[in-house]
A and B are shown apart, each in its own frame.
Chain A
Amino acid sequence: MIETLKDYYSGFAIMNQELTLVLVLIFVLLADLFLGEKGKKNLQFAAIGSFALATISGFTVSFGGSQEAFAGMYVTSDMHVLVKNILNIGTLLVFFFAHYWNKNENRNQSGEFYFLTLSTLLGMYLMVSSGNFILFYIGLETASIPMAALVAFNKKNRDSAEAAAKYILTAAFSSGVMLFGISLIYGSCGSLYFDEVANAFQGLPVQILAMVFFMAGMGFKISLVPFHLWTADTYQGAPTSVTAYLSVMSKGAAAFTFLCILFKAFHNYPEIWQNILWWIIVVTITVGNLFAIRQKNLKRFLAFSSISQAGYIMLGVISGSPLGMTSTVYYIFIYLFTNLAAFGIISNIENQTGKVGMDDYNGLYGTNPKSAFIMTLAMFSLGGIPPFAGFFSKFFIFAAAAEQGQYLLVFIALLNTIISLYYYLLVVKAMFINKSENPIPTIKSDNMSIIGLGICTIGILILGFISPIYEYMTSISFGM
């Protein structure tokens, strides 16, 4: 009895990051309660500061090999730790950008904002580290339900409510589809642990059906075509900080989890899901790109761009190799800095002038040269132009797909980068070349978002040249 209890509690020993995050969560909740109306300003610093400490402490965690707890329910390894650290960095950056919004427009609910965001982060942690479909599902729901509340945060804005309704309905629907898949897996494999599912998976029709349902559910979360329809409306309606969070963190965590589960639970029949994924990638990238061309609202524009980026992330997943995992995580890492830089600028400008249309950005270089410069870097990096970081991540992810002989897929994806470059250049063109009667006035950013943008800019400019990060990821990644 005592031995079992000991085992039980020792399981918590490897959950350092989760426990730290729970501490921060409780701290923020209590601080919000006790600081009251007057302490809103201090609350923000308390939340950001404590979370920054948690982020830093995350880098001290190291396991060497793979570890598990609660009889394989929870698994972790250096790769999982790294992914959580990447999520932490992203969340911290979102907090920086959200600071101004929380200080003014969202003053009354800033405590809730931090609390809910950190709750979704906890859900993502559990999802990433799951070794069983049940924990995975719990993590997923913990991540999605507070997210719906976050999307609806602009209570007076009808768009925000509409976005949240769309989000919660599709999320519920996709969860249902996924649960159905999971129940079929349990019925046909007799277990929900990934390892045991892998052993029992024989490619029976019912198992393949289960896998397809599971993939469809994941497709909703990562917004792969044809499960992407909620993305544009939700991204447009949600407060910009939440959109940024949704587009990077939510997507990154789900993509990594998807990769882990495919590698762990379905690795005996890779050609089945690789064939499905092949088509999903082709349509995701193409549809995302083609729809992005016509968008005039920058948030909507970035929504479609993020759909096609999700397709590129899947290129690393389809390879099923350690190189694929490395390049997927690396892609998410770079994508985080790049996309958050873009959202940082958009949120800055939206907060101060309320403008998000692409036409509003005409002549931005004349009035806000620094913002225009950072936005250009972000667009070039998203388009995969060297010497910015996006080039390196794209190169590696293509290399991972090409390693498995997927040359046709790489070629299709590359042709799509031309389309994507076209619309990314449209933004650059608006800022640098187009003339405007009524340009956005020179805005003065607050210090927090300047710090955030600075970090993103440095990330875009130099990350590609620092190979040790990539090498470290290579050393801890694993394949099927």
Chain B
Amino acid sequence: MMAIIFCLGSEKKNIIRMVMAVGALAILGTAVYVTLDFLAQREAGDAADFLFRQDIVWYQSLNINYSVGVDGISVAMLLLSSVIVLTGVFASWGMEIQTKEYFLWFLMLAIGVFGFFISIDLFTMFLFYEVALIPMYLLIGLWGTGRKEYSAMKLTLMLMGGSAFLMVGIFGIYYFSSADGQLTFNIVEIAKNHAMPVDKQLIFFPLTFVGFGVLGAMFPFHTWSPDGHASAPTAVSMLHAGVLMKLGGYGCFRIAMNLMPEAADQLSWIFIILTGTSVVYGAFSACVQNDLKYINAYSSVSHCGLVLFALLMMNKTAMTGAILQMVSHGLMTALFFALIGMIYGRTHTRDIREMGGMMKIMPVLGVCYVIAGLASLGLPGLSGFVAEMTIFVGSFEHTDLFHRFFVIMGCTSIVITAVYILRVVGKVLFGPVQDKHHESLTDAVWHEKIAAFGLIIAIAGIGLAPLWLSDMISNSSIIMHFMK
């Protein structure tokens, strides 16, 4: 698909968009097909850790393989990514400057994301991880708004800083991956060998966890996130907050905690404190922001903090909740950023003090915004409720004082979330119109409606029928692994 677009002239914007839309639809179709096939094979009793395995030897002397496969968690992430890529394409339909280059970088980002979720080999995974990071620089720097150059540089350097930690962690894992000298990058084999001494785990676990934690916007490494999200163009914010930040949580889980479980157990208290702080700190920060995108970026910090927080509880319910939260937050934050982008495209301001009464002017966008807000604050029937409920139920299984304290602190974030969501809804959507010029604005056009409705359907779908998804996730062997 990338090749097709590359071959097209840059003048043919409509054709490029069509190719993107058809391609993204094909990706979504594939993802749905993979999901159905996956469920069918599990139904048929195939209990292997990963299905659809494919291994190609790459660098033999270092035992690097191009090795892919999916389990329940990857399938969930694939579905999420494909929905967001598709809606992202529609959300950036109006992109007029250098359309071809924009979509090329956008695709590279998508390739990195998909590759990351299906990799089983640490090297391949790290490769895709970095492939996903670098297009962000140009996407934000070129097509962004506001202080775009500063934000783009800050984001890229902080995330690369994270990957520096990560790379050391990966080397540590590799050189202690096996007791008998046959070193491997394969995650499944490393987990099976379980050869790393605990004192080494205590060194490399924090490095790996922090490395991914930077991308997961863990306090105090979250500062790239608000600036980056605020400056990025709409679809990039969607993909970034919706999917890319999930790479962090996914990596913490799949690599750091899965491969170094003893260290995870011993050191979880440090990271519970940090992630607990991000949950509450993000929520409070969101309450005082005036820029719509900043509000959402801080809300993402809070919600992604919750993902890591739940993972560190290390029991089945909380971990399932964490993955559900990844999916749910991915969808609703993408919806938020899409809507903000659409509103900004009309009003040319994101300052909530300058807006008001939007519900009258653009009812469709307004209703969608309310739905996104309700999902974010956990209204039953929408995806946010399912995820947060599962997380807190799981977290309450710990009865000691330390965990109780932080779980209760985390729970307060639900209330704070309600505060900042309702504040925005009240100020922007209702109340008097602040700016006379806004009265002449139009409502959503067709491609914007596709983007918004697609995401809402997914959010409501998960909210109403969460069982198949949570079963698929919780039956993954990796979660079972922590039950011991």
A interacts with B: yes
Binding site for B on A (CB under 8 A): 326, 380, 385-387, 391, 395-396, 398-399, 402-403, 407, 410-411, 414-415, 417-418, 421-422, 425, 428-429, 432-433, 467, 470-471, 474
Q: Which residues of the other chain, A, contact B160 by a CB distance below 8 angstroms? A: 417-418, 421
Contact flag A407-B131 (CB < 8 Å), given A421-B157, A467-B59: no
Q: Which residues of the other chain, B, contact A471 by a CB distance below 8 angstroms? A: 59-61
Q: How far is the CB of B199 from chain A (nearest CB, A)?
A: 13
Contact flag A433-B141 (CB < 8 Å), given A414-B167, A421-B160: yes
A471–B142 CA distance with the chains assembled, in angstroms: 40
Contact flag A433-B164 (CB < 8 Å), given A386-B131, A467-B60: no
Main secondary structure of the interface of B (DSSP, over half): helix
Tell me if A418 and B171 are in contact (CB < 8 A).
no
Tell me if A418 and B164 are in contact (CB < 8 A).
yes
Q: Which residues of the other chain, A, contact B157 by a CB distance below 8 angstroms? A: 418, 421-422
6 contacts between A and B (CB under 8 A): A386-B131, A402-B174, A410-B167, A418-B161, A428-B137, A432-B141
Q: Which residues of the other chain, A, contact B171 by a CB distance below 8 angstroms? A: 398-399, 402, 407, 410
Tell me if B134 and A380 are in contact (CB < 8 A).
yes
Q: Which residues of the other chain, B, contact A429 by a CB distance below 8 angstroms? A: 141, 149, 153
Q: How far is the CB of A303 from chain B (nearest CB, A)?
A: 23
Tell me if A411 and B138 are in contact (CB < 8 A).
no
**Which of A380, A386, A395, A415 touches B164 (beta carbons < 8 Å)?**
A415
A433–B62 CA distance with the chains assembled, in angstroms: 39
A418–B165 CA distance with the chains assembled, in angstroms: 11
B156 within 8 A of A: yes
Q: Which residues of the other chain, A, contact B164 by a CB distance below 8 angstroms? A: 411, 414-415, 417-418
Contact flag A387-B131 (CB < 8 Å), given A414-B168, A418-B157: yes
Q: How far is the CB of B344 from chain A (nearest CB, A)?
A: 21
B172 within 8 A of A: yes
The 9 A-B pairs of least Cβ separation, nearest first, read A414-B164, A402-B171, A474-B61, A386-B127, A386-B130, A467-B59, A433-B141, A385-B134, A411-B168
Tell me if A470 and B172 are in contact (CB < 8 A).
no
B175 within 8 A of A: yes
A248–B128 CA distance with the chains assembled, in angstroms: 29
**Which of B61, B138, B161, B203 touches A415 (beta carbons < 8 Å)?**
B161
B123 within 8 A of A: yes
Q: How far is the CB of B105 from chain A (nearest CB, A)?
A: 11
Interface string of B128-140 (1 = CB under 8 A from A): 1011001001100
Contact flag A432-B142 (CB < 8 Å), given A399-B62, A414-B167, A474-B61: yes
B58 within 8 A of A: yes
Closest Cβ neighbor of A422 among chain B residues: B157
A218–B168 CA distance with the chains assembled, in angstroms: 29
Closest Cβ neighbor of B172 among chain A residues: A407
Tell me if B175 and A385 are in contact (CB < 8 A).
no
Q: How far is the CB of A23 from chain B (nearest CB, A)?
A: 37
Q: Which residues of the other chain, A, contact B59 by a CB distance below 8 angstroms? A: 467, 470-471
Q: Which residues of the other chain, A, contact B123 by a CB distance below 8 angstroms? A: 395
Q: How far is the CB of A143 from chain B (nearest CB, A)?
A: 32
Q: Which residues of the other chain, A, contact B130 by a CB distance below 8 angstroms? A: 385-386, 391
Interface string of B225-249 (1 = CB under 8 A from A): 0000000000000000000000000
CB within 8 Å of A: which of B104-126?
A: 123
Q: Which residues of the other chain, B, contact A417 by a CB distance below 8 angstroms? A: 160, 164
A395–B165 CA distance with the chains assembled, in angstroms: 14
A386–B135 CA distance with the chains assembled, in angstroms: 11
Contact flag A403-B167 (CB < 8 Å), given A386-B127, A421-B157: no
Q: Which residues of the other chain, B, contact A421 by a CB distance below 8 angstroms? A: 156-157, 160
A380–B138 CA distance with the chains assembled, in angstroms: 12
Given A386-B127, A418-B160, A425-B137, list of 6 further CB < 8 A pairs? A326-B61, A407-B203, A433-B141, A433-B149, A467-B59, A471-B59
Interface string of B347-374 (1 = CB under 8 A from A): 0000000000000000000000000000
A3–B123 CA distance with the chains assembled, in angstroms: 56
Tell me if B127 and A387 are in contact (CB < 8 A).
yes
Most chain A beta carbons < 10 A, residue from B141, B171, B172, B174: B171
Tell me if A467 and B167 are in contact (CB < 8 A).
no
Q: Which residues of the other chain, A, contact B161 by a CB distance below 8 angstroms? A: 415, 418
Closest Cβ neighbor of A396 among chain B residues: B62
**Which of A395, A403, A425 touches B153 (beta carbons < 8 Å)?**
A425
**Which of A395, A402, A422, A474 touches B175 (beta carbons < 8 Å)?**
A402
Q: Which residues of the other chain, A, contact B137 by a CB distance below 8 angstroms? A: 425, 428
Closest Cβ neighbor of B112 among chain A residues: A386
Tell me if B131 and A432 are in contact (CB < 8 A).
no
Q: How far is the CB of B307 from chain A (nearest CB, A)?
A: 25
A422–B156 CA distance with the chains assembled, in angstroms: 9
A467–B172 CA distance with the chains assembled, in angstroms: 23
A345–B125 CA distance with the chains assembled, in angstroms: 33
Q: How far is the CB of B204 from chain A (nearest CB, A)?
A: 9
CB within 8 Å of A: which of B353-408?
A: none
Q: How far is the CB of A364 from chain B (nearest CB, A)?
A: 14
A20–B168 CA distance with the chains assembled, in angstroms: 45
Tell me if B141 and A391 are in contact (CB < 8 A).
no
A407–B127 CA distance with the chains assembled, in angstroms: 20
Q: Which residues of the other chain, A, contact B149 by a CB distance below 8 angstroms? A: 429, 433
CB within 8 Å of A: which of B134-186?
A: 134, 137-138, 141-142, 149, 153, 156-157, 160-161, 164-165, 167-168, 171-172, 174-175
Q: Which residues of the other chain, B, contact A395 by a CB distance below 8 angstroms? A: 123, 167
A385–B127 CA distance with the chains assembled, in angstroms: 9
Q: Which residues of the other chain, B, contact A403 by a CB distance below 8 angstroms? A: 175
Q: How far is the CB of B367 from chain A (nearest CB, A)?
A: 37
Q: How far is the CB of A470 from chain B (nearest CB, A)?
A: 6
A432–B143 CA distance with the chains assembled, in angstroms: 11
**Which of B131, B142, B156, B174 touches A425 (beta carbons < 8 Å)?**
B156
Q: How far is the CB of A17 from chain B (nearest CB, A)?
A: 26
Closest Cβ neighbor of A467 among chain B residues: B59
Most chain B beta carbons < 10 A, residue from A386, A429, A471, A474: A386
Q: Which residues of the other chain, B, contact A387 by a CB distance below 8 angstroms? A: 127, 131
A429–B157 CA distance with the chains assembled, in angstroms: 14
A425–B142 CA distance with the chains assembled, in angstroms: 13
Q: Which residues of the other chain, A, contact B168 by a CB distance below 8 angstroms? A: 402, 407, 410-411, 414
Q: How far is the CB of A148 from chain B (nearest CB, A)?
A: 39
Closest Cβ neighbor of B130 among chain A residues: A386
Q: Which residues of the other chain, A, contact B142 by a CB distance below 8 angstroms? A: 432-433
A399–B62 CA distance with the chains assembled, in angstroms: 9
Q: How far is the CB of A405 from chain B (nearest CB, A)?
A: 8
A131–B174 CA distance with the chains assembled, in angstroms: 36
A470–B172 CA distance with the chains assembled, in angstroms: 22
Closest Cβ neighbor of A416 among chain B residues: B164
Q: How far is the CB of B67 from chain A (nearest CB, A)?
A: 14
**Which of B61, B127, B153, B165 touches A391 (beta carbons < 8 Å)?**
B127
Interface string of B59-71 (1 = CB under 8 A from A): 1111000000000
A432–B104 CA distance with the chains assembled, in angstroms: 15
